[in-house]
């Protein structure tokens, strides 16, 4: 990153090759769409380019980049839920719960049967997609990116306690949803 800040164009290509797949995966897990992930990946790296002068040499790059990606994610969710520009994670979670309730009132949950019949990897992905986005992002950053709860709290602009609670709820829900499949795997 320091080389890129100093003007080395090839340094950006190396950064992009190294980090873009992880950021893209973050967005795919958040939104379930490679098209949306492609757009948000471009937005994130454009913001990184614009903010490169703010990067502090020697600081860990990945948390800094994911802080940018987390803001891009929040901006996209605010747009989708038509929330105020200053709405935070709590307002987002409420909007998401209201949308989930509206969807549950109008449609039966047929996705669960399909997940049970799928292989383990597909079932885990499906189970992750059933999580509220506010929980899914915490699981992604914690399990897939190896970030700590304090780091995630800073990225999302919330408290460590709120992040731990979302993680606890997400992992509990995943355990319950995947229990029949895991029992079937152990029996086989």
95 part of a folded domain: no
The closest alpha carbon to 77, from 41, 36, 107, 45, belongs to 36
Q: Residue 167: its pLDDT value, please? A: 92
Higher pLDDT, 92 or 178: 178
Q: Residue 143: its pLDDT value, please? A: 85
CB 178 within 8 A of CB 124: yes
**Residue 12 pLDDT greater than 80, yes or no:** yes
1-9: average pLDDT: 88
Indicate whether 56 and 121 sit together in one domain: no
The closest alpha carbon to 65, from 98, 37, 41, 93, belongs to 41
Q: What is the CATH number of the domain that holds 2?
A: 1.10.1740.10
CB atoms within 10 A of CB 93: 17
Indicate whether 76 and 122 sit together in one domain: no
State which of 42-51, 113-122, 170-179 shows the largest mean pLDDT: 42-51
Indicate the helix (H) or strand (E) that contains 186.
helix 160-187
Indicate whether 125 and 62 sit together in one domain: no
State what percent of residues in the chain have pLDDT above 70.
87
pLDDT range class, residue 48, cuts 50, 70, 90: very high
Q: Domain ends where: 56, 87, 118?
A: 87
pLDDT range class, residue 147, cuts 50, 70, 90: confident
CB atoms within 10 A of CB 152: 26
Burial tier of 63 (Cβ tally within 10 Å: 0-12, 13-18, 19+): middle
| CA angle (28, 33, 37) in 5-degree steps | 55
31-48: average pLDDT: 93
Burial 36-56 (b: 16+ CB within 10 A, else e): ebeebbebbbebbeeebeebe
For residue 100, give both structure tokens: 């989930």
CA-CA distances (angstroms) from residue 85 to 78, 89, 131?
A: 7, 12, 24
Half-sphere exposure in the Cβ direction for 6 (13 Å, CA): 7
Q: How many domains does the chain have?
A: 2
Domain of residue 65: give its range. 1-87
Indicate whether 53 and 122 sit together in one domain: no
Q: Residue 118: its pLDDT value, please? A: 39
Q: What is the CATH number of the domain that holds 153?
A: 1.10.10.10
């Amino acid at each position: 990153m320091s080389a890129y800040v100093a003007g080395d164009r090839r340094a950006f290509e190396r950064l992009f090759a190294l980090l873009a797949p992880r950021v893209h995966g973050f967005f795919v897990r958040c939104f379930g769409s490679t098209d949306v992930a492609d757009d948000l990946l471009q937005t994130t790296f454009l913001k990184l380019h614009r903010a490169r002068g703010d990067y502090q040499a020697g600081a860990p790059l990945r948390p800094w980049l994911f802080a940018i990606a987390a803001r891009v994610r929040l901006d996209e969710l605010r747009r989708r839920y038509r929330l105020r520009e200053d709405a935070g994670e709590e307002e987002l979670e409420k909007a998401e719960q209201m949308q989930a309730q509206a969807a549950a009132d109008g449609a039966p949950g047929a996705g669960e049967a399909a997940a049970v019949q799928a292989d383990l990897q597909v079932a885990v992905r499906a189970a992750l997609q059933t999580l509220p986005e506010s929980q899914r992002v915490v699981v992604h950053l914690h399990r897939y990116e190896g970030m700590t709860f304090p780091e995630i709290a800073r990225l999302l602009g919330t408290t460590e306690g709120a992040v731990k609670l979302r993680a606890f709820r997400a992992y509990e829900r995943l355990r319950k949803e995947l229990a029949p499949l895991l029992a079937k795997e152990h029996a086989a």
